[in-house]
Amino acid sequence: MDQAHARALLTGERARLERLLAAESEGPGPADLGDEVDDADRRDAAQTDTAVDRLLRARWAALQRAEARLAAGSYGRSVRSGQPIGDERLEADPLAELTVQEAAAAEREALEEGDDAVGLVSAGHPFQVLAEADITPEEEQAAEEDDDEPASEPSQDIHVERDDRAR
């Protein structure tokens, strides 16, 4: 990718982030007093605002790193391996720091680090949807192993019924 096109992509991303950060700072004023449900909604909104703020700040930091790489002449190359990042990837995300393969490997590593069940999906088994959120695949397997125990002897009443039928 040529320097002029890369600079245009980063300028567009900077303008987009500035608009988003400005809109976030202009957010709604203090909420009206209300019942407990309204309070829960306010807490959810505050948590969402915090998450969006973190994402925007991380994106802003990535923009500054990308602009520094452009100035140093290393924009468009992986910060990890130095391999070229495809133009299509940079068009889609001008702040990309890794190749597609490196980014996928980083996501897999992040999933493997946290092997706890989350919601209806287990991080250790990312493509398996759990029937119940409280039961992990390991617990389900343990329950199946319990089912393999031999059945108890038939009761005497059943034996008597069979004798009655034979007569």
* pLDDT tens digits for range 22-36: 887 765 554 444 555
* pLDDT tens digits for range 149-166: 555 555 454 544 544 554
The predicted model gives 45-64 an average pLDDT of 88
Distances (CA, A) of 96 to 18, 54, 118: 18, 18, 28
The predicted model gives 38-56 an average pLDDT of 78
Q: Cα separation of 125 and 133, whole Å? A: 13
Q: Cα separation of 21 and 15, whole Å? A: 10
Positive or negative: CA dihedral 65, 71, 73, 76? positive
Using 50, 70 and 90 to split pLDDT, how confident is the model at 51? confident
